[in-house]
Amino acid sequence: MYKDGFVLAILKDGKPLKEIDGVVRVPFDSEYQIRLRNKNWLNCKAKVYVDGSLVSNLGDFVINSQGVVDLERFLDNSLDEGARFKFVHKDHGEVSDPDNDENGVIRVEFYKAQKISYTITTGNYPYSPWYTYNDGIHWNFTNDEKTGDGDTTLRCGGTTTMADGVKVQNYSAMYCNSTPVMDSLGAGEEGATVGGEKSYQKFNTVADFLTETYPTVLELKLLAPKDKHYVAPKPRQFCSQCGNKVQQKDRFCSSCGTKLN
């Protein structure tokens, strides 16, 4: 999906999945990645929502100009590790709210960096124009970035020394319609995202910067292909002995200890 220089795609095993009218087919019990691409000439921040909840509790994602991020995990409390995205049936025991209307929805809000241009002159020798974001981060026409102070935003990257000896940041790919439609595959199966296997995708903090007020919003709906052989796990909600709410994965009631069938 593409809009205003931003791309949102879903990957499985590192390969993009086909999107039809805002819907992407993801088999149940599959882990997937969210690709965020910024094809603009300005940095941007991205807020990523899965099933209506923010993916990151640690800050927004920063995507370099002409950069890409393949996000594969939740950022609950660690920059170094977390649970992968896993798509399951909406009645799976780990889905907290099977009736949530936003289940299966991937929503991303892209915020472009603010741009102010000016020219500095000294005597008869004008300097090249630069863009500034009022926080110490600057760009010239060759897209070299000089870092500023602050650490409230997240991204991965490294340092490159240019020919003139100036050190600049050279960041790479790491951070580091909610209505189902009919197509040639028929209506899909509703699902939601839970935590999968552990991922060691790493992130780090970088300098914050000002952004435009209104974002570009891209949204995809995940549905599973119709499979007559797939049987959804029977949801387990309450203990038959004491009425305590339980999860599908539980073998014993956490309240009274009754073995669950």
Amino acid at 156: C
For the chain, what is the total number of helices (H) and then of strands (E)?
0, 24
pLDDT at 236: 57
Tokens for 1? 């999906």
Distance CA 85, CA 71 (A): 9
Q: Measure the CA–CA gap between 161 and 18, rounded to whole angstroms.
A: 40
pTM above 0.85, yes or no: no
pLDDT for the residue 154 = 52
- Arithmetic mean of pLDDT, 37-47: 96
pLDDT of residue 222: 97
- Among 9-13, 69-73, 229-233, 249-253, which stretch is predicted with the lowest mean pLDDT? 229-233
> Are the C-beta atoms of residues 223 and 189 closer than 8 Å to each other?
yes
Distance (Å, whole) CA 212 – CA 214: 6
Residue range 141-155: average pLDDT? 39
39: three-class secondary structure by DSSP = coil
Q: Domain boundaries in the chain?
A: 2-113+173-223, 116-170, 232-261
Count other C-beta atoms under 10 Å from residue 66's C-beta.
13
More confident residue, 255 or 202: 202
Pick the more confident residue, 188 or 181.
188
Tell me: pLDDT of 260 over 90. no
Q: How confident is residue 141, by pLDDT bands cut at 50, 70 and 90?
A: very low
Q: How far is residue 178's CA from residue 190's CA, in Å, rounded to a whole number?
A: 11
Q: What is the pLDDT of residues 202-238, one digit of tens each?
A: 999 988 999 999 999 999 999 999 876 666 665 556 7
pLDDT in the model for residue 115: 80
- Name beta bridge partners: 168: 160
User: What tokens were used for 17?
Assistant: 């999945």
Question: Looking at residue 188, what is its pLDDT?
Answer: 86
Average model confidence (pLDDT) across the chain: 77
pLDDT tens digits, one per residue of 163-180? 444 433 333 333 333 333
Q: Are 189 and 28 spatial neighbours (Cβ–Cβ below 8 Å)?
A: yes
Question: What confidence score (pLDDT) does residue 179 get?
Answer: 37
Structure confidence at residue 96 as a pLDDT band (50, 70, 90): confident
When pLDDT is averaged across residues 121-145 and rounded to a whole number, the result is: 46
